[in-house]
Each structure stands twice: as C-alpha cells, then as structure tokens.
Amino acid sequence: MKTKRFIAFIIDIIVGFLFFYLSFFVLCFIHASVDLISSIPISLLYTFMCSKDCINGMSFGKYIVGIQTIDSRTLKVATPVQCMLRNLFCIIWPIEFFVMLFNSTGLRIGDQVAHTKVVKRNISY
C-alpha cells in the first residue's frame, strides 16, 4: 500500500506542477503584474494539493493506482472537509513521508488528525 501511495503522490505532484506552470505561463502571456505572476500560481498549487482528494476520496494519482481515502471510524469515503484537513499537512511533506514510512499503521500526521486512512478502492464507484 505504501508503494501505491507514493506513486499516487508523485502523480499528484506532477499534475499540481503542470497547473502551476500553466497558470504561470498564462499570466506571463497576458502580461499580468509581477504580484499576480508570483502569487497566483503558488496559491493554485497549494489549493490543488489541499483539495486533491475531495472527489470520492480520490486524487488523480489515487484514481490511477486504485486507492482512496476513507474515514477510519466509519469506513465510508472521507468527506471533503476530512480530505482538506488531512492535506493541509502537505506543506510538511518530508516529515509526513517519514512518519508514514516508519509508522506501523502507515498513517500520515494528516491521516491521524482527520481520522482517515487510505485503502484499496472499491471498484463499484
């Protein structure tokens, strides 16, 4: 499961940076102000990373590798609020990665705070 989570994370990073660079180049193309060029792409990237699991507990990367985020208490698909809460911790991703790697349950700090876990996707969705 940790390998699938890592692959999904890499896919999401690639997608996030594609949005970042696309917004950066569009703003440069329309000759936006320096403030917009420096702030909007970063804001879009962080917003994408925080909300990436909000559709049925899956990001694009999670969808590709067949996993999803669920509520660890109810075992139902995590709510958008839970997904955003767990992803707020993406800003400290190096720490999150090592916590997940060395935690026997495989949970990140964000998973522990939001009461979520990542499982193999239920194909019926």
Please report which confidence band the pLDDT of residue 88 belongs to, taking 50, 70 and 90 as the band edges: confident
How many structural domains compose the chain?
A: 1
Mean pLDDT of 50-71: 91
Q: Is residue 125 a part of any domain in this protein?
A: no
Q: What is the pLDDT of residues 66-86, one digit of tens each?
A: 999 999 999 999 999 999 999
φ, ψ for residue 55, nearest 5 deg: -100, 100
Cα gap 103→101, rounded to integer Å? 6
DSSP 67-108: EEEEETTT-SBPPHHHHHHHHGGGGGHHHHHHHHHHSTT---
Q: What is the per-residue pLDDT for 124?
A: 58
Q: Is residue 18 a part of any domain in this protein?
A: yes
Q: Is residue 16 a part of any domain in this protein?
A: yes
Q: Is residue 108 a part of any domain in this protein?
A: yes
> 23 lies in which domain range?
2-120
